[in-house]
Amino acid sequence: MGNVITVMNMKGGVGKTTVTMHLAGIFARHQIGGRFRNVLMIDYDPQFNLSQAFIPPKTYFSLEKQRRTGLSILQDDEVDLNPFQIQVGGNLRPPELSDLVHSVYKLKHSRLDIVPSTLNLMYVALGQSEKRTAPLEERFEKFIGQCREEYDLVFIDCHPAGSILTKTSLQNSDHVIIPVSPQRYATRGIWLMMRFIEAKKPGTTGPTPHILFNSAPRFGRSRDEREIRADPKWAKRCMTTTMKWYTAFSEPLDGDGFVWSSNRPYSKEATRNLLSLAAELAERMDDKDET
Ligand SMILES: Nc1ncnc2c1ncn2[C@@H]1O[C@H](COP(=O)(O)OP(=O)(O)OP(=O)(O)O)[C@@H](O)[C@H]1O
Ligand SMILES: [Mg+2]
């Protein structure tokens, strides 16, 4: 059974998508903790930035036209889409994995796949529902059940808001990576996230949060990072390894420019950074090769 990881922060632009694409890639491409992994990314953000990083426009529009996107996990059809009203159908069965998954990287021992997003997911993100949204939640849960059978790791890239999307993602995850970039009010974002995580899994311990300092300076620590690490409430939740600021991390587009797949010399440091980060995450998830 695979591990499911939500990447989330209510604050926008902190690096959720960047962290998702690089961690997912390094886990598929390199042996971390002694093994390769089959990895799935679910782009659960209507902005579809993760999809754009991996899929060239022609292919993307073709997939969207065939409804091979995350919206189909929740809804069967896209008629009468209304920004103020979520469509809640009666069918509780989500599509088969093979109907939605698009392969972006294949190796001898592992693969990296994606369920792309669509701007139309915004109708679900914004809408309210007079009917209960339970059918959507049930479909998402069943879909994640299929993913756990098929993949070792599933990353879900969320949009920066509280919605049925972020709620269902958290409810079905074992871990939450909270990227934090060194900026004022970073602490506010963490508070909100912790409250949200607790509220969304009442009566259970919920997914385990991991605070990841992103765009960190190559040497030393920012004031915000020092403050957050010094707080006893959060100290244990903070990953020791930080994701540094490297131009190379901002370059992927249309399936090209990933540091984990390229041999360009300037990205070696960034790749090393990523390898350390993935190794720590595997440890924290207790996801190692036991053989
Ligand atoms: N470690 C890093 N090094 C260099 N650039 C980075 C790094 N992390 C993020 N960026 C850049 O910062 C910008 C915001 O990152 P990203 O889109 O991943 O944030 P996000 O949290 O997913 O945003 P949103 O809330 O809109 O979904 C992007 O241009 C990205 O390339
Ligand atoms: Mg994003």
CA distances from 200 to 115, 170, 206, 207, 285 (A): 24, 7, 8, 10, 21
Q: Structure tokens of 165?
A: 């999307």
38: its two tokens:
């089959």
Q: For the residues 163-191, what does the mean pLDDT come to?
A: 88
Q: Which atom of ligand 1 is nearest to the CA of 216?
A: 1
Is the beta carbon of 13 within 6 A of some atom in ligand 1? Answer: yes
For ligand 1, whether the C-beta of 16 sits within 6 Å is yes
CA 20 to ligand 1: nearest atom: 18
- Is the Cβ atom of 15 under 6 angstroms away from ligand 1? yes
- Name the average pLDDT for the chain: 90
Q: Which residue among 6, 17, 214, 243 is best mutated to probe the pocket of ligand 1, counting the most ligand atoms within 8 A of its Cβ? A: 17
Q: Is the CB of 249 under 6 A from ligand 1?
A: yes
Residue 3: pLDDT band by 50, 70, 90 thresholds? very high
Point out the ligand 1 atom lying closest to the alpha carbon of residue 157. Answer: 22
For the cut 60, the answer to whether the pLDDT of residue 290 exceeds it is no
Report percent pLDDT > 90 for the chain: 66
Confidence of residue 267 (pLDDT cuts 50, 70, 90): confident
- Point out the ligand 1 atom lying closest to the alpha carbon of residue 19: 18
- Give yes or no for residue 211 having a pLDDT over 90: yes
202-210: Cβ within 8 A, 24+ apart: 206/170, 207/6, 207/170, 207/173, 207/174, 207/175, 207/176, 208/174, 208/175, 208/176, 208/284, 209/175, 209/176, 209/178, 209/237, 210/175, 210/176, 210/177, 210/178, 210/237, 210/239, 210/281, 210/284
Q: How far is the CA of 187 from the centre of ligand 2 (A)?
A: 19
Q: pLDDT tens-digit profile of 229-252?
A: 999 988 999 999 999 999 999 999
Query: Does 182 have pLDDT greater than 90?
Result: no
pLDDT digits (tens, 9 = 90+) for 49-73: 999 999 999 999 999 999 999 999 9
Q: Ligand 1: does its nearest atom lie under 6 Å from the Cβ of 267?
A: no
Residue whose CA lies nearest to ligand 1 atom number 25 = 12
Nearest CA to ligand 1 atom 5: 250
Is the minimum distance from the CB of 17 to ligand 1 under 6 angstroms?
Answer: yes
Conformational region of residue 163, where left means phi above 0, alpha means psi within -120 to 50, and beta covers everything else: beta
Which ligand 1 atom is the nearest neighbour of the CA of 243? 1
Q: What is the pLDDT of residues 144-174, one digit of tens each?
A: 999 999 999 999 999 998 889 999 999 999 9
For 107-153, the pLDDT digits (tens) are 889 999 999 999 989 888 887 766 678 889 999 999 999 999 999 99
